[in-house]
Amino acid sequence: MSEKLTKDLETDFNEILLIIEKAKENAFRAVNHELISMYWEIGKYISEKVKSDVWGKSVVEQFSAFIQNKFLGIKGFSAQNVWRMKQFYETYQENEKLSPLVREIPWTHNMLIMVGAKSDEAREFYLTLTLKNNYSKRDLDRQIDSMLFERTMISDKKNKLLVSKNSALSALRDNYTLEFLDIPSEHKEMELRKAIVSNLKNFILEFGKDFSFVGEEYKLQVGNTDFFIDLLFFNRELSCLVAIDLKTGTFKPEHIGKMEFYLEALDRDVKKPNENPSVGLILCASKDDTVVEYALNRSISPTLVADYKLHLPDKKILEDKLRELRELAENENSKETENM
């Protein structure tokens, strides 16, 4: 009887703990909202003074010293940070869509996005992602440094047709940066797999926090034969299994057939009735986009082919590539308009 009572009390206490944690989270959000609003108003005030030539750099430095003397020990009012408040206000003042979002994340995160993102589209991407995934400062810094926005935009444009056929593929990209694995450029598939499993936190950060790890070398028994999927994940948002086949060489068309077999076996023997059909990702060291297009053109399997890099991407190359794709899309839209 007492043991049952103890379990009941533990359940009750855990429910109260959830109430406390939720209240703490709400309190933090409320305080953060007011703090960002304060920085916004200070930035607005300084911006207007500077525009009217009333204030300059020296006055801002005097203001910083005044505040820090007035409120001993106060943080966040260095001359540099005060100038950032002005830049913060000027960056978002005319954007009604983004100005509410900036109040929902910490100041340090806002500074990373403001400095690292070069357009409103990129800022919206990182603001939304930070809110959705509750990124730490370190996580957000890594995503910006790896140019996740540019890589995602390029991938979306490349995979537009495939995603239109199967929306579940929208959770995958056509390239991944795995600089955190710390393995030599010449490596075997087993080394790659083991390194990924040893760095699951960072791997899931790169893939998206909706991914949950199911297993390594996941066993499938078909007839009297055993088969093994390199990595198996589950995507909570899409409610489906995601099979990953690792290739340390260049993509080959025959890889598609193997993945189609895995997905068929997963859907028949592993997928739960309430889950959506499984999807696959063939992760290669390199790929020829034309070969990939031909290989996937007649495939009915929900599969994407991606390549991985063991170093951070070259920012200029990615920016140029994204600009080329956008210009190409604009030219195609112009031709369609002319033909109407």
Return the pLDDT at 335: 62
Sign of CA dihedral 252, 294, 315, 111: negative
The tens digit of pLDDT for each residue in 208-238 reads: 989 999 999 999 999 999 999 999 999 998 9
Query: How would you list the strands of the sheet with 225-235, edge to edge?
Result: 175-177, 303-309, 276-286, 240-250, 225-235, 211-222
Return the pLDDT at 337: 60
Q: What is the model's pTM?
A: 0.84
The tens digit of pLDDT for each residue in 17-42 reads: 888 988 988 898 899 999 999 999 99
Distance CA 34, CA 26 (A): 12
Q: From the centroid of its chain, how far is CA 255?
A: 27
Mean pLDDT of 87-110: 95
The tens digit of pLDDT for each residue in 241-281 reads: 999 999 999 999 999 999 999 999 999 999 999 999 999 99
pLDDT at 129 over 90: yes
Q: What share of the chain is helix, strand, coil (3-state, %, to 5)?
A: 60, 15, 25
CATH class of 149-316: alpha beta
Domain locations in the chain?
A: 2-146, 149-316
| CA-based nearest residue to 174, from 325, 298, 330, 276 | 325
Residues in the chain, overall count: 340
Mean pLDDT of 103-121: 95
Mean pLDDT of 137-160: 92
The single residue listed with the structure tokens 């990129």 is: 122
Q: Which residue has the higher pLDDT, 73 or 157?
A: 157
Q: Is residue 76 a contact partner of residue 2, using CB atoms and an 8 Å limit?
A: no
- The three-point CA angle 276-279-284 to 5° equals 165
b/e burial code for range 310-326 (CB count within 10 A of at least 16 → b): beebeeeebeebbeeee
Per DSSP, the residues of 97-110 read: TTTTGGGGS-HHHH
Return the pLDDT at 1: 41
Q: From the centroid of its chain, how far is CA 197?
A: 19
**Angle (deg, nearest 10), helices 137-145 and 200-207:** 60
